[in-house]
Amino acid sequence: MKRGHFILVLNVIIILISIGCNLDRQDNSKASVFYTVIKITDGDTFWADDGSEKGIKIRLIGVDAPETRRTRNKEVGYYGQESKAYLAELIGGEKVRLEFDVDPTDRYGRSLAYVYKEDGTFVNAELVKNGFAMVMTVPPNVKYAEMLLALQQHARENNIGLWQQQ
């Protein structure tokens, strides 16, 4: 293994261990609230049942998946359908916990969240790690930016997912 790759892998391991330790310390005093995922919009946005008529629209913090449909401003992106399908497989119909950062909503009124499955899987990180989304950091919501960048670098260097050579 090249020295640069070894250092990158070592950094990713340290970051993941650090996050795991921090997660153990977070808000153990109050019960976690889980929401059932009811609809996947695309690879970085979904709807969850919060008891309201429509539900709550969630936009994953720190990631950007390719577009799945053409809009007036954006074209369908390479790997967009695959990203949506992966998110649907990962959390469709599942219960998820939301973790918010500094800004809880975006300009479109969507809730911005880091998302965790009941088994503790960090959904935002899984998308980046497996090449179904790339990192998109929008300050002040930067809590896991370094970890996500390390995961993206690893996916990119190993031609995983949307980073595959075409």
Give the residue extent of every domain in the chain.
32-163
Q: What dihedral angle (degrees, nearest 10) is formed by the CA atoms of 114, 74, 128, 47?
A: 40
> How high is the pLDDT of residue 117?
98
> How high is the pLDDT of residue 53?
95
DSSP bridge partners of 97: 34, 116
Catalytic positions, written as ranges: 59, 67, 110
> How high is the pLDDT of residue 100?
97
Low-confidence stretches of the chain (pLDDT < 50) are 21-30
Give tens-digit pLDDT for 111-158. 999 999 999 999 999 999 999 999 999 999 999 999 999 999 999 999
Question: What does 112-133 look like in DSSP terms, one character per residue?
Answer: EEEEEETT--BHHHHHHHTTS-
Domain 32-163 architecture: Beta Barrel (2.40)
> How high is the pLDDT of residue 12?
57
